[in-house]
A and B are shown apart, each in its own frame.
Chain A
């Protein structure tokens, strides 16, 4: 029998260290678990302060005992390498585990166990948890805004058509593939505009006119982000080319334009579009609020897109330009066939980030009185029959936005991998 030194666990008495360490660790986790899920305190006989800190101390000792280098047990080595390298790391590990265990019951009870979803009125919410009834009742408004209920099929059809048409790119035929870029850059936006103008807005073809002030909710978020996304990209591309141009006038104007939009907050741009821009238009000329907002956000984001694309243009080696020129290509031919395809590939992550920022910026349109989903939440929150459910509303919107943005960022990551070319 070797000497057992509890300060320095080693390979000699592996099983003793392992069993005693695991036992202490297990006791620590069990204590926290019981306290959190069943409200029991198995160490209540101890003074408050010690009882509170005991799991942490026990856990640290336990983890210390199983921190044995080259134990020969694969899982133990992995564990030691990843979460148990030294006392500091062990303490942090324990704190994270305890926090997770402690926070599960309250979160579960708020979201599910004590939550209510039945009923149609505020009185149905009797539990101490979330009142999903509120979301259920207002869901229609959160998605369609003030758009009249009986006309909402128009929004649905437009969106289904647009999503369907977006998948045209998956057609594998080689013949059509050539025109895909043209389709996505020119034809698709025109179709989208026609659909939204005639179907959602209405006013002709026997459809009732719905003013843009009544649009709102999640559908408005999509409409605004969609159009801004389509418009800001070409504008940004021209600005980037302008900034890299050899012609001084073009360059200075582009630089001035880009730096101006990048230097001001979006909210002031929206202020400008709502209070200052009408002053700049001829007297009898009326431009819809929504159109003004879309123009404002597009120009704003275009400046950011321009900077991202400029980064891609700068990253291309000079040889690419020289090679294209030596083939006798002019400025536009060179950029369309040689430079831009390579540069755009390089900047996919940056562009995706800009688009993400755009989607996250759409709630700001509340400044001009358009209410997309966050705006509708604030409206619903002040409804006298549904006071006091701010939390549910914001959590709901946060989940929706999070899903959209996270999906976009993952998609861009995949695109990046797909188009990655070795240099």
Chain B
């Protein structure tokens, strides 16, 4: 009896406390909203937004709804996160490996990079790139072409736009290549298990990936041309680029800062992962006659990846969440467009802030669920 009370009483107390706090907040919110004559509801989402967004991946202007503004913001956030993750991974892996280099100078340079960028607040870095570094770039009319095709100016980076013909056929060929690679890999594994023969899977895969899409250019009617950005004079002293693909400076500054900052953490994950493999594994692999390449591919990397991937995914999530700092330099991401402009216009604080938080929360939670599933599937199965 006594035992039961000891278990149940704290639970009831905690539950009551939580219910009380929530009830108190809801009650106050109700009273406050009644006083101000606001009604709670998400109906405003379908209203006309009547504000413009500078940079958007989908068609959008003031006549569209708030829901569409939300979508614009979300897509912009995902764009920054996507580009940032790619760059951060590339830099992070290189720096992480460099930190393990036997070359003293390379190791110190990598360590310097990590210590330098990790200990400066991300917001300060974003400000630095946006307000100090990118402002030193030339005006559109003074910019010189980099490699003859890129124009890096104070108004952003202008690159040629790809103009595809019959893009779908190209995609189909890519998909076909990937499917055939999977089939060949399975076949090769079976062949090795049954007969002990090894196929050069890697070279075959690379070959397929190159040859199949190439064929579509030759016989499939796929063609690719570039639309170059052209400088145009709109007033006596005002120039701009038309055509091509223009990336706004906000996007560049944000991606640069996010990638450089997150790469330091990814580098540490990579280093820890590779260092976490005991020397015995390498020696054991060498003693059964594997070549250095095979040791890396078959023994070290599978084990190291098990250590590297979970914390790295966490860093990807951090990068996505940190991309909300975009609001500070007016890159139109979810926070700026929705929790900023839309909130100012509608005054619906509770609804908008809750939608914004819920969006980030669902991104984070879905990735954590995936991660947990992945962790379970790769965990060492001990008997």
Contacts and interface: CB of A to CB of B under 8 A. Distances in A.
A201 B29 CA distance: 30
A377 B125 CA distance: 13
A92 B105 contact: yes
Interface in A362-403: 362-364, 366-367, 374, 377-378, 381, 390-391, 394-395, 397-398, 401-402
A360 interface: yes
Contacts, number: 157
Interface in B94-130: 101-106, 109, 115-116, 118-125, 127-128
A158 B11 CA distance: 42
Interface in A396-416: 397-398, 401-402, 405-406, 409
A96 B109 contact: yes
Contacts of B354: 276
A250 interface: yes
B208 to A, nearest CB: 30
A366 B106 CA distance: 38
Interface string A62-106: 000000000000000000011101000100110011000000000
B328 interface: yes
B120 A402 contact: yes
Given A267-B325, A381-B131, A259 B365 contact: yes
Contacts of A264: 321, 357, 360-361, 364
A4 B375 CA distance: 58
B103 A83 contact: yes
A263 B328 contact: no
A406 B127 contact: no
Contacts of B33: 279
B27 to A, nearest CB: 9
Interface in B325-379: 325, 327-328, 335, 339, 343, 349-350, 353-354, 356-357, 360-361, 363-365, 368
Interface residues of B, number: 58
Given A271-B335, A281-B28, A81 B7 contact: no
B360 A265 contact: yes
Interface in A216-235: none
Contacts of B133: 391
B3 to A, nearest CB: 12
A361 B360 CA distance: 18
B168 to A, nearest CB: 38
Contacts of A206: none
Contacts of A363: 121, 123-124
A279 B28 contact: yes
Nearest to A246: B7
B353 A97 contact: no
A265 B324 contact: yes
Main secondary structure of the interface of B (DSSP, over half): helix
A248 B11 contact: yes
Nearest to B364: A263
* Chain A, interface residues (CB within 8 Å), range: 35 or more
Interface in A336-364: 356, 359-364
Nearest to B328: A366
Contact of B115 (A248, A253, A406): A406
A319 interface: no
Nearest to A81: B102
Interface in B17-59: 18, 25, 28-29, 31-33, 35
Contact of A268 (B31, B131, B357): B357
Contacts of A260: 361
Contacts of B35: 283
B103 A89 contact: yes
B15 interface: yes
B349 A276 contact: yes
A275 interface: yes
16 contacts: A93-B105, A250-B10, A253-B14, A264-B360, A267-B325, A267-B327, A275-B343, A279-B349, A279-B350, A280-B32, A282-B31, A360-B121, A363-B123, A378-B131, A401-B124, A402-B119
Q: Which 4 A-B pairs have the closest CB atoms?
A: A405-B119, A263-B364, A249-B11, A265-B321
Given A97-B105, A271-B335, 7 more contacts: A89-B103, A247-B7, A260-B361, A268-B324, A363-B124, A390-B135, A394-B127
Interface of B: 7, 10-12, 14-15, 18, 25, 28-29, 31-33, 35, 101-106, 109, 115-116, 118-125, 127-128, 131-133, 135, 321-322, 324-325, 327-328, 335, 339, 343, 349-350, 353-354, 356-357, 360-361, 363-365, 368
